[in-house]
Amino acid sequence: MVKFAEGILCMCIAVALQPVKCTKARIVNSREVVDSINSNPKSTWKADTYGTDEFDLDDFSKTRLGLKFNFKVDDKFGVPESILNRIPRPDNDALPKSFTWTDSKNTKCPISHIRDQSNCGSCWAVSTAAAFGDRICIQSNGKYNLPISSQYIASCDTKNYGCNGGYMDLVHEFLKSGVITGGDFDSDVGCEPYAVAPCSYNLFGDKMPCAFDSAMTPKCRKKACTNDWYPSKRETEANTFYAKSYKSIKGDAYGTAEYNIRKDLYENGPLTLGFMVYEDFRFYKSGIYIPKPNQRPLGGHAVRLVGWGEENDIKYWLVANSWTTKWGENGFFKIVRGRNACQIESMVYSAMPDLKK
């Protein structure tokens, strides 16, 4: 059994003769977690320490996640296999057995690009911007292929909280007010590139170490582009994009959520989805992720759904994360499909761009 130690972080108060103030930290031994997964012959996925000996759950939650839930997450691991097998499936399922928008045969658009939220709890903005940009490109048949600015969304959506997190429904409502273009940090792509510099959690040693707390949210700049190399200092109407509608994809008593998600994904393009992250997910390297039982939740995370498939009789979703290409399968992960694992089929949003504005 993997042991999760309760460490102690002590911070001195800068007042003479005052006692030291200490707070408990939840510390995980990375090697023990990884070894327990990789040594299990029944495991459907492989894990990696990414160069860390210890893993602080609270620091990770504050800086690499960020999705807030407006409903109670009470089903930790989704539908049990025994119940799943009794759920009727739609009779008219004519969708392919596997499909992904990352395949160049399916689109002229750069769907395979992986973003980096860095040490900012902006996954809700990063993944929504990426999925909405994908759909703009797909729906316009490649005419509009600049990425949507996740920084503009994170900084200017006043109903959400920037690097301190956000809600899925509120950010999709924000898309209706119009969003601008912007690429990765220091990329000179679009009007407002991402403003939080990449950093390392001892995962990827080519970057500066990340701070323990989430980065400060950059100020909203609605009237000027932050990219000096962009052709115009201000986004024109031609480069401002609006959502004409959005919806939360739901199922019914017959378990059709999985089918409805695939249908919308296939017909319209990538989707934004949210799920509950548990302790072992941070160590995912390859394979089909199925969460282990008896883990503590770390918090909500928003990601971009790009496809589905099946391996060794296990159905999976193909998902783009926002933790750089050095995490997972070049930035992507697979998670078991049809079981609502980690609530991943409970919070799925579809936004349709209005290309006539």
- Angle 110-115-116 from CA coordinates, rounded to 5°: 165
Active site residue 268: no
Q: What are phi and psi of 246, to 5 degrees?
A: -150, 160
- Which of 29, 66, 25 has its CA nearest to residue 47? 29
User: What does the alpha-carbon distance between residue 85 and residue 327 come to, in Å, rounded to a whole number?
Assistant: 33
User: What does the alpha-carbon distance between residue 185 and residue 95 come to, in Å, rounded to a whole number?
Assistant: 37
- Angle 35-76-308 from CA coordinates, rounded to 5°: 75
User: What does the alpha-carbon distance between residue 151 and residue 72 come to, in Å, rounded to a whole number?
Assistant: 28
H or E stretch at 352: strand 348-354
* Residue of 123, 156, 191, 210 with catalytic role: 123
User: For the chain, where are the alpha helices, taking DSSP H only?
Assistant: 30-38, 57-64, 81-84, 123-139, 150-156, 168-175, 257-268
Q: Which residues on neighbouring strands pair with residue 22, listed in sequence order?
A: 10
User: What does the alpha-carbon distance between residue 229 and residue 232 come to, in Å, rounded to a whole number?
Assistant: 8
C-alpha dist (Å) from residue 102 to 48, 110, 172, 308, 339 = 24, 8, 23, 11, 24
Active site residue 321: yes
Active site residue 294: no
* Residue of 119, 164, 227, 321 with catalytic role: 321
C-alpha dist (Å) from residue 216 to 67, 162, 184 = 17, 8, 17
Question: Quick one: angle between helices 123-139 and 257-268, nearest 10?
Answer: 50
Residue 310 contacts residue 98 (beta carbons within 8 Å): yes
User: What does the alpha-carbon distance between residue 259 and residue 257 come to, in Å, rounded to a whole number?
Assistant: 5
Catalytic residues: 123, 301, 321
